[in-house]
């Protein structure tokens, strides 16, 4: 057995099958789609500390936002230089770069794992990889999500939902970005990227799309929560409005 199968694929395969068994305890019948959703949430929760390591504190973000405001004011007549200076500030945290690379690497590995799981693994080829302590799993495993979507085959509806979620995620990202997005940014990220994603994932198993949709939804929720916390901190840092001492009654 090769290194990838023994130390990476097999543990994830067992976790997903275990979650499938667990859904049978809380639902009328086991549902692999629900298991994938739980799996995606668990993965994102595990990766959350690494995301937070790369994140600046609210105080750091506030200081950066003040620097950005000064740069925009100083280079108001030179938009190109203004954008370059803002990007320099945003790249000053090596932790954020490490965190992003690490998270993307893990996501790619999981996508490869899910591709194997839903193309051959759950149809019987990899059932011998289940650990001895795993609960007895009734076979064949039901790969139809909500009675509608066969997770082992491609599905245009889930593919469209995935592209729409990518578009929504990029809109939120651009809206909260300290750098004012250009029209080119909007077209490439909000329009072209989802279309390319739709074409790239068109022929891949629907089970992987369920994972990506859940992962994007999780990221959107986390991003909104972070932004709310940051705005709350920013409002607290605003100087209090001076009050007029002993105001004279109006005549």
Q: Hey, what are 201's tokens?
A: 């994932």
The pLDDT value given to residue 84: 77
Terminal Cα distance for the chain, rounded = 92
Q: Does any domain span residue 161?
A: yes
The pLDDT value given to residue 53: 64
Residues spanned by the domain of 105: 3-56+93-236
Q: Does any domain span residue 81?
A: no
Count each helix (H run) and each strand (E run) in the chain, helices first: 10, 2
The pLDDT value given to residue 111: 83
The pLDDT value given to residue 223: 87
Q: Does any domain span residue 65?
A: no
Query: Which is nearest to 89 in space by CA: 102, 77, 75?
Result: 75
Report residue 44: phi and psi, to 5°: -65, -35
pTM: 0.76
The pLDDT value given to residue 14: 93
Q: Does any domain span residue 136?
A: yes
- The domain tally of the chain equals 1
The pLDDT value given to residue 177: 73
Q: Does any domain span residue 181?
A: yes
The pLDDT value given to residue 178: 64
Q: Does any domain span residue 128?
A: yes
Q: Does any domain span residue 70?
A: no
Phi/psi zone of residue 147: left (φ > 0), alpha (ψ -120 to 50 degrees), beta?
left
List, in sequence order, every residue forming a beta bridge with 150; answer none if it has no partner. Answer: 144
Q: Does any domain span residue 84?
A: no
The pLDDT value given to residue 133: 92
Along the chain (251 residues), what's the average pLDDT of each consecutive run of 10 residues?
Answer: 85 92 92 94 85 57 67 76 72 60 80 86 84 88 89 92 94 79 85 92 89 93 86 71 49 49
Q: CA-to-CA distance for 81 and 71, rounded, in angstroms?
A: 9
The pLDDT value given to residue 241: 45
The pLDDT value given to residue 119: 84
The pLDDT value given to residue 99: 63
């Amino acid at each position: 057995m090769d290194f990838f199968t023994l130390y990476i694929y097999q543990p994830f395969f067992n976790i997903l099958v275990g979650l499938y068994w667990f859904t049978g305890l809380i639902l009328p019948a086991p549902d692999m789609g629900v298991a994938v959703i739980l799996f995606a949430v668990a993965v994102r929760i595990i990766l959350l500390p690494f995301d937070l390591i790369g994140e600046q504190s609210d105080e750091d973000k506030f200081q950066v936002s003040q620097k950005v405001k000064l740069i925009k004011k100083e280079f108001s007549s030179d938009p190109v230089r203004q954008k370059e200076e803002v990007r320099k500030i945003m790249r000053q945290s090596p932790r954020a770069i490490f965190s992003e690379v690490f998270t993307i690497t893990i996501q790619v590995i999981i996508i490869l794992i899910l591709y194997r799981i839903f193309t051959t693994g759950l149809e019987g080829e990899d059932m011998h990889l289940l650990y001895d302590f795993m609960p007895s799993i009734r076979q064949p495993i039901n790969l139809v999500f909500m009675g509608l979507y066969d997770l082992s085959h491609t599905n245009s509806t889930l593919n469209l939902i995935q592209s729409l979620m990518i578009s929504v995620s990029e809109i939120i990202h651009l809206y909260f970005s300290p750098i004012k997005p250009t029209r080119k940014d909007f077209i490439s990220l909000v329009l072209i990227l989802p279309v390319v994603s739709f074409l790239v994932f068109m022929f891949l198993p629907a089970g992987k799309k369920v994972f990506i949709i859940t992962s994007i939804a999780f990221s959107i929720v986390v991003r909104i929560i972070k932004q709310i916390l940051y705005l709350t901190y920013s409002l607290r840092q605003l100087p209090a409005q001076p009050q007029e001492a002993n105001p004279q009654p109006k005549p």
